[in-house]
Amino acid sequence: MKILVPVDGSALSLEAVRHVLGLVRHGLKAQIVLANVQEPASLYEIVIARDPAVLEDVSTGAGTYLLQEAQALCEGAGVTFKTAVVSGDPAHALIDIVEQYGCSAIVIGAHGKGALASALQGSVSLAVVHASPVPVTLVKQAMGDQPADDAWGRVPATDRDDQAAAR
């Protein structure tokens, strides 16, 4: 069994990786495909760079960097994995990866916002659920966990201040 785990560098995407590793630890025989989808280059970037290879190298490098922590988790658990870095619309690109690698499931982090908020913000996880030809498991942020401010898992300043005051 191959499981696709999209990784964007956020704490929530790493929770999806940990979820799959927990399933493997409990006996699931699976390989993991860690995937990162980069936005396609803008017209401005294309005009400025003039060389598509440069843009592709930068995009691949950024995606590879964002996959490092997820790869370290898999290596530490002794779980076989492959990586994919692509660019394009995230939901469609992830479905393409499912087909290319022969994945039989997707485990993706989801913020757990309501349908209206997801629709207004363009939820990737919701789009994947609707487009996927394979089962999709959504990993939501656990209650009581501190929300991450950005893709690097930094906590908002007000939360850091609250945490420091509690010590």
The predicted-structure confidence for 48-96, as pLDDT tens digits, reads as follows 777 767 667 777 788 899 999 999 999 999 999 999 999 989 999 999 9
Q: What is the edge-to-edge ordering of all strands in the sheet holding 31-38?
A: 81-87, 31-38, 2-6, 105-110, 136-140
Domains of the chain by start residue, with CATH: 2-166 (3.40.50.620)
Q: Closest by alpha carbon to 91, among 138, 42, 126, 43?
A: 126
For 120-141, give the secondary structure using H, E and C: HHCCHHHHHHHHCCCCEEEEEC
User: Per residue of the chain (167 residues), what is the pLDDT tens digit?
Assistant: 999 999 998 999 999 999 999 999 999 999 999 999 988 766 766 667 777 676 677 777 888 999 999 999 999 999 999 999 999 899 999 999 999 999 999 999 987 555 554 444 458 888 999 999 999 999 987 655 554 444 444 444 444 444 444 44
Q: Closest by alpha carbon to 4, among 77, 84, 62?
A: 84
